[in-house]
Amino acid sequence: MKMFEYMGKELFATFGLPVPRGRMVKSPAEAAKVAAEIGSPVVIKSQVLSGKRGKAGGIKFADDPEGAKAAAQELFGMTIQGLPVDIVLVEEKLQIDKELYLSITIDGSAKMPVLIASAHGGMDIEEVDEEYIIKKHIDVELGMQDFIARDVVRRMGIPLTSTHAQELIKVIKSLYKIFTQKDAELVEINPLVLSGDKVIAADAKVTIDDEAIYRQPDLPWVEEHTATEKAAHDLGLSFVELDGDIGVMANGAGITMGTLDTLTYYGGKPANFLDAGGGTGEEGTAKALELILARNPKSIIINIFGGITRCDDVARAFASVKKNIGIPVPVVIRLVGTNQEEGRAILKEVGIEAYDFMQDAARKAVELAKVQ
Amino acid sequence: MKMFEYMGKELFATFGLPVPRGRMVKSPAEAAKVAAEIGSPVVIKSQVLSGKRGKAGGIKFADDPEGAKAAAQELFGMTIQGLPVDIVLVEEKLQIDKELYLSITIDGSAKMPVLIASAHGGMDIEEVDEEYIIKKHIDVELGMQDFIARDVVRRMGIPLTSTHAQELIKVIKSLYKIFTQKDAELVEINPLVLSGDKVIAADAKVTIDDEAIYRQPDLPWVEEHTATEKAAHDLGLSFVELDGDIGVMANGAGITMGTLDTLTYYGGKPANFLDAGGGTGEEGTAKALELILARNPKSIIINIFGGITRCDDVARAFASVKKNIGIPVPVVIRLVGTNQEEGRAILKEVGIEAYDFMQDAARKAVELAKVQ
Amino acid sequence: MAIIINEDTNVIVQGISGKQGLFHTKQMLAYGTKIVAGTSSSKAGTTIEGVPVYDNVQAACENHQIDASVIFIPAAGAKDAALEALEAGIKTVVVVTEHIPVHDEMIIVAYAKRVGAAVIGPNTFGIVSSGKCKMGIPPNQFFVPGPVGVVARSGTLSYEIVGNLTAQSIGQSTVVGMGGDRVVGLTFVDVLKRFEQDPETKAVVLIGEIGGNAEEEAAEYIKEMTKPVVAYLAGKSAPPGKRMGHAGAIIERGKGTYSGKVEALEAAGAMVASVPWEVGSLIKKVLDLDKQFNWEPGALRMREERLDR
Amino acid sequence: MAIIINEDTNVIVQGISGKQGLFHTKQMLAYGTKIVAGTSSSKAGTTIEGVPVYDNVQAACENHQIDASVIFIPAAGAKDAALEALEAGIKTVVVVTEHIPVHDEMIIVAYAKRVGAAVIGPNTFGIVSSGKCKMGIPPNQFFVPGPVGVVARSGTLSYEIVGNLTAQSIGQSTVVGMGGDRVVGLTFVDVLKRFEQDPETKAVVLIGEIGGNAEEEAAEYIKEMTKPVVAYLAGKSAPPGKRMGHAGAIIERGKGTYSGKVEALEAAGAMVASVPWEVGSLIKKVLDLDKQFNWEPGALRMREERLDR
């Protein structure tokens, strides 16, 4: 779950990590009010869950409340990468002496968190040379010890005896606390600004592990999905729309991808990616078919290799949907694995002969799509 | 630093560990007031830092405020193992269905914390057979995981599906939190009482690592030492009074013990144990001699083997004390190690020839004590 | 022979009385797995399918020699269950549970490393040493003994490919599911090393997918292997996955694409099938080669021509 | 030969610019210790006594091969300093600092165990491989090369006994201070094992004291040793130490007394001196025995009579 910048900064503040003065507003009038409270030039930042906000013109500056109001007015009318701007963050404009980069994320191949830092922060961090990027893996049993933070600061070229170094060490320790205590997948500050004696997080990017949301009741909830995606997600389905004309449903991300690859191999074009995961019941199957049919496919392939998913459950659900709702396009079903005989018997009752092999089912689905 | 029971229970309560209702008082009138607030039979417990309180009659029961007042009156007059009772704790009298034992301390030979539990708690835990004592070492990097607490509860014979088990698991986890977060050397609950559905800590013994007090500013301060011991301790001296007539000062616990052993070997009787530790300056040396002289010794042996302690520092301090304050009994000094030549030269100026070997110095000190 | 588990492996099922645990205990027993104990605090003291049930792993270990555990405990308790098994000295722990928080997974994996144990998963279908022992959830009928080691990231796709191999009379020594999560215990390299050492395994199938850099790392080790490797990578025509902000980009730096992975694997001498069922025919060629030319280490990767693509 | 450190050991001094660090750096250099670097954030970039000073251990490791560290950092920062050295891959870490919180000590020791490093201390005088390398604070003049390994709990008492040995022309292979705190890294047993393996060490002196059960554990290992052990235990006539409530009593259960320790050591075949300077004469007998009777493993402990007591 991605958090809006203003939420990330609120979270930072509760961990003692310095952020600019300011707050989020939902109207131009409020923006003017906050700018007046701040009493100095401000920055007005659109709050959308997209990384390209700056380049898209989603960040504006103003010298006074009037200007802040006008800037906010402009932003509230905008759409950035398809996302409407409903919230803006009004903050003091920082004096920027230097921009650093700091983040902690998970390195799957090392199986541990990795702290990434650079003295060359700012918008184009991805373009910075490897030699200026400092990476330090963190042993989860050892945790973030002072010496680790200190060494990273040293490698950033900040003299350890400086005030900045002392502040940065605190920032790194706080950031790691947020990362572990809040089940984050990513905490990122870019830029982390040196401003006079101070070190201030001028941005905040925080992503919480979706699997751990249940144990983070204090965090705000951010809905990233469209209504359709959310409905699918709630039923344990993973759904992505594609450009083709063959509806696809399979169980497991790998086999779903394999099914797409196979359809493509035979010259077909998938209309969607739909991974029904392990064990989807009747409601899930009905919803899955509804999502697939909404793409107006010419044929549908259902590819089930039962493991934790049981073939009879899938067959029963499918048969029920077919009987009660009806399916207006030809459906090819491949069904093997756990309880396959029971499943095939159920399908036979609704007039469907299941395939043994994916390639045969896929070839048939492609043929059917061409015929229609 | 040992904490009074009432302090331990306050600490327990802040970690959500259940303790009896009640509070500490400093007068019989207050005791009556607390008993009235509680509104049921109470127990009145003298607050002294001694383990033998119960057997010494330091715990009384009362059915009403009048009785509580009378009981407190008695306790405030008492002295338990030399310690006057200045504070009592007035608490609800618990219905005791079963007494358990639970503690966490440090096992120096395993180099890790050890959780000790028994279903046979109560006053005589030290007498309980080994087979009823459960010991579980805790990996400090892994910490107190649920499964560890659960296994200990199982081994105590409490069914894991019971309410008691659920409560006990929480108690164990809280106790470990207190142990680690508060730098404890010992957290002990004896008895831990099963009372109806509840699990309640009927006693609390908490000892904080003296070396970590500086980073536990929230804990109350308990002064365990006598004024003399405290004065010695503040100067880095470790001082214990003994029964003999030869004053002893050495640097390091081991060599001080070795000096006592040597004096005893030659038929002498040490008047004290005084470990001046590493690097005691003039003030420390003066204080050390003052402590030693207060025992009215017939002779004094100073046994210094310099390492981190430098011989010239000791000699300078001693010479200064001798000149400025004077020492009324014969002093034998053994002085070798770091900067020994400088040290010996300084002693020579005040008319003292230092010995090379402990045995020679000790023999001389014994002789001198016999002559006097 | 086989890797990691075999016919002598004594298995405990953690969470034996839950819906999945119970169903798959029956399946595993039917496959021949030596399940000697199970845990369930609600059913402790009873037997389930003839298997004695205990309060916890420690209690089971007091009564049985246990070599491996398979975990069906729900996500919220899975970290504790895995640590419990590891702390009890069990050296092979298969975590079937999905949806475990990634911070919990890092803790499990770090502790396993410290105690020198192998964790398979989380979010894995498990492991099958064909004809000997199954720990996990794959359907029984597709796994038959033979010379091919299989290691995979995704579950159902592995059944698909194993099913295809079996249909072509190509049996498997051991099939290992690494688990689909970002942080898992055994990796491709760990499993490949074991296959390389296993005399029964003559060739290895690696089933990967787009995203991450597990396949690139596997390629590094495949360079050193003497046994032929056939790979299939899912996702040639799939939509790109989500990225983890700038930090993710910095870590991956161009890795994770389909073409990058294929390139790395082919450069290391592996053959890459373009669709799942092509794996069987490539393995057949490889094993025929083996017979015809008296297989020598490294011989295959020097062949210039690509097989029937 | 010697144990743990020798003339080739490259040493770093953590906290080289503090009062103790500076003084003992001079002393160690004078003894011949190969100090290749020091740390001090205030003096980084300078040299102290010719030793280059760095911000931290990592920076020093970027410029030097470092084998061992000796730590003079004050208690509040000592845990961090020790973990830093261990994380940097340094396999011998001597923590001279005293007054370190015991929870910090447990963390240091656990991490050292995990990374396979030896921690000496905390609260130790250090270690001297006589004539080769000194890490720590003992006075230089008393440590001369020879056949006796010494391991001790307390500092000054060790100097006392080593001084006595040297005065009797009995040199030392290595002298190790385990440290006086309740939780320390290397124990008697760890050090005895190394002496047992060291060809240069012909006999071992163990300097213990009352309290705890380190001597009882040592006795268990001494049973297996082929080399003779002479012990001195301080505290025969000392007042009893404080006890840790019931829990401490449960753990110790009768261990820790002077007589119990003497009994355990003598039963294991060690000779126990009753006063510190008796150690030298016992060692002399032991080493003479060696020459006269062509020393055989275990011969000494079978002798019935006690030596000149």
Q: Give the pLDDT confidence of A262-286 residue by residue, as tens digits.
A: 999 999 999 998 988 765 677 788 8
Q: What are the φ and ψ backbone dihedral angles of A105, each rounded to 5 degrees?
A: -145, -175
Instruction: Kindly state the tokens that stand for C224.
Output: 């050193």
At the top level of CATH, the class of C138-309 is alpha beta
Q: Is B234 on the interface with C (CB under 8 A)?
A: no
Question: What is the distance in angstroms between the Cα of D78 and the nearest Cα belonging to chain A?
Answer: 11
Q: Is C277 on the interface with A (CB under 8 A)?
A: yes
Residues of B carrying an active site annotation: 101, 188
Task: Please answer yes or no on whether A103 and C152 come within 8 Å at the CB atom.
Answer: no
- When comparing pLDDT for B272 and B308, which is higher? B272
* Collapsed DSSP state (helix, strand, coil) of residue B275: strand
Quick one: what percent of chain C has pLDDT higher than 90? Answer: 75
C-alpha to C-alpha distance for B303 and B326, rounded to whole angstroms: 19
pLDDT of residue B33: 97
DSSP string, B164-231: HHHHHHHHHHHHHHHHHHTTEEEEEEEEEEEETTEEEES--EEEE-GGGGGG-TTSPP---S-HHHHH
* Collapsed DSSP state (helix, strand, coil) of residue A36: helix
Q: Where in chain D is the domain with CATH 3.40.50.261?
A: 138-309
Q: What type of residue is D231?
A: A
Q: What is the mean pLDDT of residues C223-232?
A: 96
Question: What is the distance in angstroms between the Cα of B162 and the nearest Cα belonging to chain C?
Answer: 10
Question: What is the distance in angstroms between the Cα of C108 and the nearest Cα belonging to chain A?
Answer: 10
pLDDT of residue C237: 79
Q: What sign does the CA torsion over B61, B63, B69, B70 have?
A: negative
pLDDT of residue D300: 32
pLDDT of residue D242: 42
pLDDT of residue D239: 58
Q: For chains B and C, what is the number of CB pairs under 8 angstroms?
A: 36
C-alpha to C-alpha distance for C265 and D143, rounded to whole angstroms: 61
Q: What is the pLDDT of residues D116-131, one digit of tens each?
A: 999 999 999 999 999 9
Q: Out of D41, D83, D87, whose CB is closest to A160?
A: D41
User: What are the angstrom distances between the C-alpha of A269 and each of A297, A331, B142?
Assistant: 10, 15, 51
Instruction: Kindly state the tokens that stand for A218.
Output: 């204090």
Which distant-in-sequence residues (6+ apart) come within 8 Å of C247 by Cβ? A103, A104, A105, A114, A116, A186, A188
Q: What is the mean pLDDT of residues C48-60?
A: 97
Task: Give me chain D's average pLDDT, please.
Answer: 88
Question: What is the distance in angstroms between the Cα of A188 and the nearest Cα belonging to chain D?
Answer: 25
Look at the domain A227-371 and name its fold: Rossmann fold (3.40.50)
Burial class (CB in 10 A: 0-12, 13-18, 19+), D153: buried
Burial class (CB in 10 A: 0-12, 13-18, 19+), B284: buried
Question: What is the distance in angstroms between the Cα of C80 and the nearest Cα belonging to chain B?
Answer: 6
Q: Out of A188, A257, A308, whose CB is closest to C209?
A: A257
Instruction: Kindly state the tokens that stand for A349.
Output: 């009752």
pLDDT of residue C301: 31
* Collapsed DSSP state (helix, strand, coil) of residue A72: helix
ipTM of predicted complex: 0.91
DSSP classification of residue B296: -
C-alpha to C-alpha distance for A360 and A134, rounded to whole angstroms: 51
Name the closest residue on chain B to residue A143, using Cα atoms: B141
pLDDT of residue B339: 86
Q: What is the mean pLDDT of residues C187-206?
A: 97
Q: What are the φ and ψ backbone dihedral angles of C18, each rounded to 5 degrees?
A: -75, 170
Lowest model confidence (mean pLDDT) among B167-181, D180-194, D245-259: D245-259
Task: Please answer yes or no on whether D81 and A147 come within 8 Å at the CB atom.
Answer: yes
Q: Is B305 on the interface with D (CB under 8 A)?
A: yes
Q: Out of A147, A160, A161, whose CB is closest to D83?
A: A147
Residues in chain D with CB shorter than 8 Å from the CB of B278 are 98, 155
Rounded to 5°, the CA angle B327-B332-B334 comes to 130
* Collapsed DSSP state (helix, strand, coil) of residue A122: coil
User: What are the angstrom distances between the C-alpha of C136 and each of A93, A282, C21, C71?
Assistant: 57, 25, 9, 8
**C-beta of residue A206 within 8 angstroms of C-beta of residue A8:** yes
Question: What is the distance in angstroms between the Cα of B67 and the nearest Cα belonging to chain D?
Answer: 31
Q: What is the pLDDT of residues D151-179, one digit of tens each?
A: 998 888 999 999 989 988 999 999 999 99
pLDDT of residue B287: 82
Task: Please answer yes or no on whether D238 and B205 come within 8 Å at the CB atom.
Answer: no
pLDDT of residue D289: 42
Q: Is D115 on the interface with B (CB under 8 A)?
A: no
Mutate to test the interface with A, among B138, B139, B141 (most CBs of A within 10 A): B141
C-alpha to C-alpha distance for C234 and C258, rounded to whole angstroms: 8
Quick one: what percent of chain A has pLDDT higher than 90? Answer: 69
Hey, which residues does B115 pair with through a beta bridge? B104, B136
Is residue B372 over pLDDT 80? no
Q: What type of residue is C106?
A: M
Q: How confident is the model at residue C85 (pLDDT cuts 50, 70, 90)?
A: very high
Question: What is the distance in angstroms between the Cα of B195 and the nearest Cα belonging to chain D?
Answer: 23
Name the closest residue on chain D to residue A158, using Cα atoms: D55
C-alpha to C-alpha distance for C177 and C135, rounded to whole angstroms: 10
Rounded to 5°, the CA angle B355-B361-B363 comes to 150
Q: How confident is the model at residue B185 (pLDDT cuts 50, 70, 90)?
A: very high
Per domain, the residue ranges of chain A are 21-92, 98-215, 227-371
Name the closest residue on chain C to residue B155, using Cα atoms: C59
pLDDT of residue C36: 98
Hey, which residues does D28 pair with through a beta bridge? none
Q: Is B162 on the interface with C (CB under 8 A)?
A: no
C-alpha to C-alpha distance for C124 and C253, rounded to whole angstroms: 27
C-alpha to C-alpha distance for C109 and A139, rounded to whole angstroms: 11
- When comparing pLDDT for B148 and A56, which is higher? B148
Q: What sign does the CA torsion over B36, B38, B44, B45 have?
A: negative
CA B216 to chain centre: 17
Q: What is the pLDDT of residues D44-87, one digit of tens each?
A: 999 999 999 999 999 999 999 999 999 999 999 999 999 999 99
Is residue A73 over pLDDT 80? yes
Q: Is A198 on the interface with D (CB under 8 A)?
A: no
DSSP classification of residue C120: E
Residues in chain A with CB shorter than 8 Å from the CB of D45 are none
Q: Tabulate helix, strand, coil % of chain B (nearest 5).
A: 40, 25, 35
Q: What is the pLDDT of residues B50-72, one digit of tens each?
A: 777 888 889 999 999 999 999 99
Q: Is A141 on the interface with B (CB under 8 A)?
A: yes
pLDDT of residue C243: 39
Question: What is the distance in angstroms between the Cα of B138 and the nearest Cα belonging to chain A?
Answer: 14
**C-beta of residue C149 within 8 angstroms of C-beta of residue C201:** yes
Task: Please answer yes or no on whether C56 and B154 come within 8 Å at the CB atom.
Answer: yes
Is residue D296 over pLDDT 50? no
C-alpha to C-alpha distance for D179 and D169, rounded to whole angstroms: 26
Q: Is A190 on the interface with C (CB under 8 A)?
A: yes
DSSP classification of residue B75: H
Q: A91, A92, A99, A101: which is the annotated catalytic residue?
A: A101
C-alpha to C-alpha distance for C243 and A261, rounded to whole angstroms: 22
Lowest model confidence (mean pLDDT) among A267-281, B162-176, C247-261: C247-261
Is residue C100 over pLDDT 60? yes
Name the closest residue on chain A to residue C189, using Cα atoms: A109
Instruction: Kindly state the tokens that stand for A308.
Output: 């934790």
Q: How confident is the model at residue A52 (pLDDT cuts 50, 70, 90)?
A: confident
pLDDT of residue C302: 30
Q: D24, D64, D103, D246: which is the annotated catalytic residue?
A: D246
Question: Is the link from the previous residue into C52 a cis peptide, with omega within 30 of 0?
Answer: no
Q: Where in chain D is the domain with CATH 3.40.50.720?
A: 1-123
Q: How many Å is the maximal CA-CA distance in chain B?
A: 79
Q: Is C87 on the interface with B (CB under 8 A)?
A: yes
Q: What is the pLDDT of residues B96-138, one digit of tens each?
A: 999 999 999 999 989 999 999 999 998 778 888 889 999 999 9
Question: Is the link from the previous residue into B113 a cis peptide, with omega within 30 of 0?
Answer: no
Which among D136, D188, D143, D134 has a CA at the least distance from the CA of D5? D134
DSSP string, chain D: --SS--TT--EEEETTTSHHHHHHHHHHHHHT--EEEEE-TTTTTSEETTEEEESSHHHHHHHS---EEEE---HHHHHHHHHHHHHTT-SEEEE------HHHHHHHHHHHHHHT-EEE-SS--EEEETTTEEEESS-GGG--EEEEEEEES-HHHHHHHHHHHHHTT--EEEEEE--SSSS-SS-HHHHHHHHHH-TT--EEEEEEESSSSHHHHHHHHHTT-SS-EEEEEE-TTSPPPP--HHHHHHHHTTTT-HHHHHHHHHHTT-EEESSTTHHHHHHHHHHHHHHHHT--TTTGGG--SPP--
Q: Is B326 on the interface with D (CB under 8 A)?
A: no
Q: What type of residue is D179?
A: G
Q: Is C27 on the interface with A (CB under 8 A)?
A: yes
Which among B40, A309, A117 has a CA at the least distance from the CA of A334? A309
Q: Is C42 on the interface with B (CB under 8 A)?
A: yes
pLDDT of residue B124: 77
Q: How many Å is the maximal CA-CA distance in chain A?
A: 79
| Chains within contact range of chain A (3+ C-beta pairs < 8 Å) | B, C, D
Q: What is the mean pLDDT of residues A223-232?
A: 73
C-alpha to C-alpha distance for A299 and A370, rounded to whole angstroms: 9
Residues in chain D with CB shorter than 8 Å from the CB of A161 are 41-42
Architecture of domain D1-123: 3-Layer(aba) Sandwich (3.40)
Task: Please answer yes or no on whether A305 and C274 come within 8 Å at the CB atom.
Answer: no
Q: What is the mean pLDDT of residues C82-100?
A: 97
Q: What is the pLDDT of residues C143-183, one digit of tens each?
A: 999 999 999 988 889 999 999 899 889 999 999 999 988 89
pLDDT of residue D193: 98
pLDDT of residue C304: 30
| B window 11-70, beta carbon within 8 A of D | 51
Q: Is D159 on the interface with B (CB under 8 A)?
A: yes
Task: Please answer yes or no on whether B142 and A142 come within 8 Å at the CB atom.
Answer: no
C-alpha to C-alpha distance for A345 and C274, rounded to whole angstroms: 33
Task: Give me chain C's average pLDDT, please.
Answer: 88
Q: Is C72 on the interface with A (CB under 8 A)?
A: no
Q: How confident is the model at residue B313 (pLDDT cuts 50, 70, 90)?
A: confident
DSSP string, A189-237: EEEEEEETTEEEES--EEEE-GGGGGG-TTSPP---S-HHHHHHHHTT-
Instruction: Kindly state the tokens that stand for A184.
Output: 């984050």
* Collapsed DSSP state (helix, strand, coil) of residue A33: helix
CATH superfamily assigned to domain A21-92: ATP-grasp fold, A domain (3.30.1490.20)
Q: Is A151 on the interface with D (CB under 8 A)?
A: yes
Rounded to 5°, the CA angle B133-B136-B142 comes to 165
**A185 included as an active-site residue:** no
Which among C257, C276, C269 has a CA at the least distance from the CA of C300? C269
**C-beta of residue A315 within 8 angstroms of C-beta of residue A342:** yes
C-alpha to C-alpha distance for B125 and B192, rounded to whole angstroms: 12
* Collapsed DSSP state (helix, strand, coil) of residue C186: coil
Q: Out of D101, D155, D245, whose CB is closest to B307?
A: D155
H-run or E-run covering C13: strand C10-14
Lowest model confidence (mean pLDDT) among A337-351, B287-301, C148-162, C247-261: C247-261
Residues in chain B with CB shorter than 8 Å from the CB of D244 are 105-106, 185-186, 207
What stretches of A251-324 adopt beta strand conformation (E)? Answer: 272-275, 299-306
Q: Out of B141, B146, B154, whose CB is closest to C80?
A: B146
Residues in chain C with CB shorter than 8 Å from the CB of A111 are 105-106, 109-110, 183-184
Q: Is C189 on the interface with A (CB under 8 A)?
A: no
Q: What are the φ and ψ backbone dihedral angles of D141, each rounded to 5 degrees?
A: -70, -15
**C246 included as an active-site residue:** yes
Q: What is the pLDDT of residues C289-300, one digit of tens each?
A: 444 433 333 333
**C-beta of residue D89 within 8 angstroms of C-beta of residue D111:** no
Look at the domain B98-215 and name its fold: D-amino Acid Aminotransferase; Chain A, domain 1 (3.30.470)
**Distance separating the N- and C-terminal Cα atoms of chain A:** 41
Name the closest residue on chain A to residue B142, using Cα atoms: A141
Residues in chain D with CB shorter than 8 Å from the CB of A146 are 77, 80
pLDDT of residue C293: 37
